[in-house]
Amino acid sequence: MNEKISVSALMYIVSQHRQHIIIKLKYLQATYQRKGVKRVNGVRGENRELIKPWLEIEYIEPGDYVQIETFTVNMLIQQKVKLGKPEDKTAITEVTGVLLNNLITFNN
């Protein structure tokens, strides 16, 4: 059976039955492929050193499975781009010996 379902129908079904859905969190974290910059907790000091926060959270029950509280669909659009000067539309193809002929941007 290979029937298609709309995103809105899927979101409705999941939201109505979220208390019965569990996620294998460790597997999701191990297989997730990040496409952006990872956020680091803390602030930069005067010498640009990372100052970590003096408080941090600790998970009370670090189980393998978690329940869904909310469900959203996040589409990541990948597009090829080129770098250029806006004044005269000059293309920048290299920066300090690094070729820029295969740049990609990601948008939600």
Q: Which helix (H) or strand (E) holds 10?
A: helix 7-16
Residue partners of 63: CB distance under 8 A and separation at least 6 = 25
- DSSP tally for the chain: helices H, then strands E: 2, 10
d(CA 44, CA 105): 27
Write down the pLDDT at residue 51.
94
- Look up residue 39 and give its DSSP letter: P
- pTM summary value: 0.42
Instruction: Provide the residue-wise pLDDT of the chain in tens; the chain has 108 residues.
Output: 567 778 788 888 888 888 888 888 888 888 888 777 778 889 999 999 999 998 887 777 667 777 777 767 676 777 888 888 888 888 888 888 888 888 888 776
DSSP element (H, E) containing 82? none
**Tokens describing residue 19:** 């208390």
Which is it for the CA torsion 17, 20, 21, 23, positive or negative?
positive
